[in-house]
A and B are shown apart, each in its own frame.
Chain A
Amino acid sequence: MMEKMIFGRYVPADSVIHKMDSRSKLIIIFLFVCVIFLANNAVTYALIGIYTFFMLGMSRIPIRFLYGGLKPVLWLVLFTLVLQLFFTKEGALLVSWGPVKIYEEGLKMGIFISLRFFFLILMTSLLTLTTTPIEITDGLETLLNPLKKVKFPVHEMALMMSISLRFIPTLMQETDKIMKAQIARGVEFASGPFKERIKAVIPLLIPLFVSSFKRAEELAIAMEARGYRGGEGRTKYRQLSWHLADSLQLVLLGMLTILLFLLRS
């Protein structure tokens, strides 16, 4: 049921992207999110598309798997498209069909915004698919380290993040299990009138909440029992290492940025 979900899931493989330093991946994602807003015409969007799919290709994540996992999000992308299509009223009128009017600007904006959304989702999924949660947090912690000077709780933030990433699959499993138990007791999650379906969520959510609280408490006790007392003086077992490939990736993104500046209208 939930087994197709790919968010926060790591797919082990032997690829260039997998081997990259998590710091460089994080920097690239962060920059990518900014750079993507430079695109404002067909050529620049195409460039970003090529870049995204190039990265995907290098990661060796099977496209079919990616497609299966992203299907629910694709609906969201489609929804953005439709929203833009109907609510932007600028440019030449393209289609007039009763009360439905589609304008040129609307079509353009719709396609561009949903494409931007789509590429963002692909790139961010790529990060979690190719990087273990622990690598991500380690990378984030090192990158944010300077913020410690202004008393920002970097270590605690990183820990919180790694805990939430770590428990995504666990919660999925739990959800699946409780869903099945309630289906066996006659609940219908996937069919029936809308009101009934909303009501059906209660027998799922309450047990999930209860077990999450329990789990949180157990985890806290286990951490204390093993002498956890925050990040002070804590050393690292896993050392991050920056390679040539990481620098090259950054250069590649830099080149993309320059191209975008030159080609945007």
Chain B
Amino acid sequence: MDISLQHIDYRYQANTPFERLAIEDVSIDIPSGTYMAIIGHTGSGKSTVLQHLNALLQPSKGTVKIGDREIKAQQKNKNLKQVRQKVGIVFQFPEHQLFEETVEKDIIFGPLNFGVSEPVAKERARKALKQVGLAEEILEKSPFDLSGGQMRRVAIAGVLAMEPDVIVLDEPTAGLDPRGRKEIMDMFYALHKDRNLSTILVTHSMEDAARYADQIVIMQQGKVVNQGTPEEIFSSPVELVKMGLDVPEVVRFQLKLEEKTGMKLGKIYLSIEELSSAVTEALSRGVRS
């Protein structure tokens, strides 16, 4: 399902002394099947953009297209349930949304709301639990008896069980240990590939953006300041540093290496594996010549 934001503005608390323009003239296209990372500092408006992706917020100006549905400013929008089933959002600290008596009941809550029958929903719950790497035994436990990491996974399973076409992740790994972080991110990536989902990752981790995304959007003070493939974005690291954003370690290493040795690799590599084989190749070529 394609999503497209066209010149949207959003004002928080319009017509009050606290009025604040959160995002301004943001246009982003997310064709079906894209893995897009939205990067920016705290307060750059990335979470506001995210909430437009399934009509939780209505733009103050501009149009949001979600599949066939158009959401325009200054217009009543009803029956958004369909949109919300297709676009699943994993909020920051999703474990805060757990409320049911058992893990199973919590996971099937979403699917049931969208009219899935109970047996099917339970089947989905089992599948989703497996995807997030939890054992079936915990289905009957109370979600509040689980550890923080397990609660996070249960909450994510609750969104996966809705079987959305688009999955939106707001800092899904905040507060997790490095191993859990990698497991969750790899799980989302596998899901993205297997089910041909569109994935939108809101993060401030350049490493994650470089590793997983096909498209990167950089936001600053409510505006999109740069947009492109990771190679394009990271090929001008000086600009990124100027904006106070990090460059992935791999890229930093490559730049330092090129600077110190005068070696030219020709393109920016985004993973250690690629870079090391490129360096080996360049070195062996150098030895031969």
What secondary structure prevails in chain B residues at the interface with A? mixed
- A-chain residues with CB within 8 Å of residue B51 when the two chains form the complex: 180
Instruction: Say if the beta carbon of B162 comes within 8 Å of chain A.
Output: yes
**Contact partner of A188 among B81, B94, B99, CB < 8 A?**
B81
Q: Is the CB of A202 within 8 A of B96?
A: no
Q: Is the CB of B99 within 8 A of A185?
A: no
Give Cα A192 to B156, complex, Å. 27
Q: Tell me how far the C-beta of B274 lies from the nearest C-beta in chain A, rounded to whole angstroms.
A: 36
- B-chain residues with CB within 8 Å of residue A186 when the two chains form the complex: 81, 84-85, 110, 112-114, 162
Q: Is the CB of A207 within 8 A of B12?
A: no
Give Cα A187 to B81, complex, Å. 9
Q: Is the CB of B99 within 8 A of A203?
A: yes
Give Cα A181 to B96, complex, Å. 9
User: Given A177-B96, A203-B99 in contact, is the A184-B54 Cβ separation under 8 Å?
Assistant: yes
**Contact partner of A210 among B16, B81, B88, B144, CB < 8 A?**
B144
Instruction: Say if the beta carbon of B97 comes within 8 Å of chain A.
Output: yes
- B-chain residues with CB within 8 Å of residue A210 when the two chains form the complex: 96, 99, 144
Q: Is the CB of B158 within 8 A of A202?
A: no
Instruction: Say if the beta carbon of A3 comes within 8 Å of chain B.
Output: yes
**Contact partner of A185 among B96, B113, B144, CB < 8 A?**
B113
User: Given A185-B159, A187-B113 in contact, is the A207-B96 Cβ separation under 8 Å?
Assistant: yes
Q: Is the CB of B96 within 8 A of A211?
A: yes
Instruction: Say if the beta carbon of B282 comes within 8 Å of chain A.
Output: no
Instruction: Say if the beta carbon of A183 comes within 8 Å of chain B.
Output: yes
- B-chain residues with CB within 8 Å of residue A11 when the two chains form the complex: 17
Q: Is the CB of A184 within 8 A of B89?
A: yes
**Contact partner of B16 among A68, A181, A184, CB < 8 A?**
A68
Q: Is the CB of A65 within 8 A of B98?
A: no
Give Cα A110 to B109, complex, Å. 46
How many B residues touch the partner, as a band? 20 to 34
Contact bitstring B38-54, A, C-beta under 8 A = 1, else 0: 00000000000001001
Which chain A residues numbered 156 to 206 have a C-beta less than 8 Å away from chain B?
Answer: 174, 177-178, 180-188, 191, 202-203, 206
Give Cα A69 to B16, complex, Å. 9
Instruction: Say if the beta carbon of B277 comes within 8 Å of chain A.
Output: no
Instruction: Say if the beta carbon of A4 comes within 8 Å of chain B.
Output: yes
**Contact partner of B97 among A3, A64, A185, CB < 8 A?**
A185
Instruction: Say if the beta carbon of B15 comes within 8 Å of chain A.
Output: yes
Contact bitstring B11-36, A, C-beta under 8 A = 1, else 0: 01101111000000000000000000
> What are 8 contact pairs spanning A and B, CB under 8 A?
A65-B15, A177-B96, A183-B84, A184-B91, A185-B159, A186-B81, A186-B113, A210-B144
Given A68-B15, A203-B109, 13 extra CB contacts under 8 A: A3-B16, A62-B17, A65-B15, A65-B16, A184-B89, A184-B91, A185-B97, A185-B113, A185-B158, A186-B81, A188-B81, A203-B99, A210-B99
